[in-house]
Amino acid sequence: MNSPVTLEKITALAKRRGFIFPSSEIYGGLANVYDFGPLGVELKNNIKRLWWQRFVHQREDMVGLDASILMNPKVWEASGHVSNFSDPLVECKHCHTRFRLDTNGFDVSGPCPECKETKGFSEAKQFNLMFKTQIGATADGSSDVYLRPETAQAIFVNFKNIIDTSRKQIPFGVAQIGKAFRNEITTGYFIFRMLEFEQMEIEYFIKEVDWEKTFNHWQEEIMKWATSVGISEANLKFREHDDKERSHYSKKTVDLEYNFMGDFKEIYGLAYRGNYDLTQHKLSYTDPVSGEQFVPHVIEPSFGVERTILPILLDAYHEDDKRVVLQLKPSIAPYKAAVFPLVQNKEEIVSRAKTVHQNLINAGIYTAWDARGNIGKRYLSQDEIGTPFCITIDYDTLNDSAVTVRDRDTMKQERIKESELNEYINSRIG
């Protein structure tokens, strides 16, 4: 019988198996900052690689960008982030902890959620979410810069450079994967809300008349992507922003929300930004055929990397009285296979296993090596980290040049010739 998944189980597994660690843990950590361990970084890179292949390499209407985290502060003044990118905060008069006033369930007439005192809260003040730092040795205002709170603005300010060098014509999109930083007050829920996070984002440039058709296309693409990496469609739903929630420049915004044990939260967003951003940066487009000059409108699909990983782990986690298994899609699993010598004290078997392991590595199949303990424990260890296939080299291998391949999900085993092993694995990892 499968035991229900909890966030505590995922957090424990993530640390125990080297997916995700609390940052700087030996010094007490830093709230809502996490490090991705040996397996976590592989999972993360696989997700980003597949996203890039799907939305850039496999589409003729897309190009990529990798922009700097630091930009001229005038970018953020023009975009409105300096004056408007803020949350309403109140401060506890006893412990001085700050809270977002617009957080669901927060009541200023009640006790402080942190210290439980009832001395009341300060008046609400707007708190800018951007991290500020300085360039150079002086600390005067002229050297102030910001860590970017989103990747989008770098795409907008590079619009002319991209048009001039790529020769793309509207409609077309620009994709970017990169870090963003937000000085969030409302944090928590493991890696769902972090101070430093990674976005996979697209700005798709169109004529205004095409916005609804393009919006619907990208809404379908967002759902297809989520399910392609192993997020259960049964746990997903779209929610449209109302007039109060939607940004002033947007005619329509929807979130793709995931059911976190009964609590739906946003993992991806899709916004029609109009032509606000390019207008703010005084940029326009001239059609190379008609000569028409206009300011393009933008559809923005935005995908959170960490907000992809957490639902994947939750939906992949399965536990019964015999084992814990992460049923990850083979395409995103950290290891695609693991190689075991049946015994460690027979040199011929160990040597043959190492050859098989190296051949898989050389074929581009990232493969684990495990010679510890008995075979059963090795299987369980690989199941828990999501390795799709375990390959055992035994005494019979020395005679028939075949290995035993065990499937993670079905636990069925079959004999495969060494010469056919690369093709066998590749055909199943997608």
Among 216, 301, 315, 185, which Cα is nearest to 258's?
Answer: 315
The mean pLDDT of 254-266, rounded to a whole number, is 93
The mean pLDDT of 82-103, rounded to a whole number, is 72
The mean pLDDT of 302-309, rounded to a whole number, is 96
At residue 248 the predicted structure's pLDDT band, cuts being 50, 70 and 90, is confident
Residue 184 in this model has a pLDDT that exceeds 80: no
Give the model's pLDDT for residue 292.
Answer: 95
At residue 303 the predicted structure's pLDDT band, cuts being 50, 70 and 90, is very high
Give the model's pLDDT for residue 416.
Answer: 97
Give the model's pLDDT for residue 88.
Answer: 73
Domain ranges of the chain: 7-75+134-316, 86-128, 337-429
The CATH fold assigned to 337-429 is Rossmann fold (3.40.50)
74 contacts 157 by C-beta, under 8 angstroms: no
Q: How far apart are alpha carbons 214 and 208 in whole angstroms?
A: 10
Among 304, 335, 316, which Cα is nearest to 38's?
Answer: 335
The mean pLDDT of 226-236, rounded to a whole number, is 97
> 3-state DSSP call for residue 11?
helix
Give the model's pLDDT for residue 103.
Answer: 57
What are the distances in angstroms from CA 250 to CA 180, 212, 274, 371? Answer: 21, 12, 6, 57
At residue 69 the predicted structure's pLDDT band, cuts being 50, 70 and 90, is very high
Strands (E), 182-232: 196-206
Residue 156 in this model has a pLDDT that exceeds 60: yes
99 contacts 113 by C-beta, under 8 angstroms: yes
Amino acid at 283: L
Amino acid at 66: D
Phi, psi of 92 (to 5 degrees): -65, 130
Give the model's pLDDT for residue 249.
Answer: 85
293 contacts 284 by C-beta, under 8 angstroms: yes
Give the model's pLDDT for residue 186.
Answer: 62
Of all residues in the chain, the percent with pLDDT exceeding 90 is: 73
> 3-state DSSP call for residue 215?
helix
pLDDT: which is higher, 345 or 333: 333
Other CB atoms within a 10 A radius of the CB of residue 403 amount to 24
Residue 10 in this model has a pLDDT that exceeds 70: yes
Residue 36 in this model has a pLDDT that exceeds 90: yes
Q: For the chain, what's the residue count?
A: 430
Residues 371-426: pLDDT tens digits? 998 999 999 999 999 999 999 999 999 999 999 999 999 999 999 999 999 999 99
Give the model's pLDDT for residue 328.
Answer: 97
At residue 115 the predicted structure's pLDDT band, cuts being 50, 70 and 90, is confident
81's tokens: 């982030």
Residue 176 in this model has a pLDDT that exceeds 90: yes
Q: How far apart are alpha carbons 271 and 248 in whole angstroms?
A: 11
May I ask the CATH class of domain 7-75+134-316?
Answer: alpha beta
Give the model's pLDDT for residue 106.
Answer: 66
Q: How far apart are alpha carbons 234 and 19 in whole angstroms?
A: 25
Q: How far apart are alpha carbons 367 and 364 in whole angstroms?
A: 9
Q: Give CA torsion, residues 308, 314, 316, 317, to 10 deg.
A: 150
Residue 105 in this model has a pLDDT that exceeds 60: no
Other CB atoms within a 10 A radius of the CB of residue 28 amount to 8
Number of H helices, E strands in the chain: 13, 23
Give the model's pLDDT for residue 188.
Answer: 64
At residue 163 the predicted structure's pLDDT band, cuts being 50, 70 and 90, is very high
Averaged confidence pLDDT in the chain = 91
| Angle of the 38-52 helix axis to the 306-316 helix axis, nearest 10 | 110
Give the model's pLDDT for residue 187.
Answer: 60
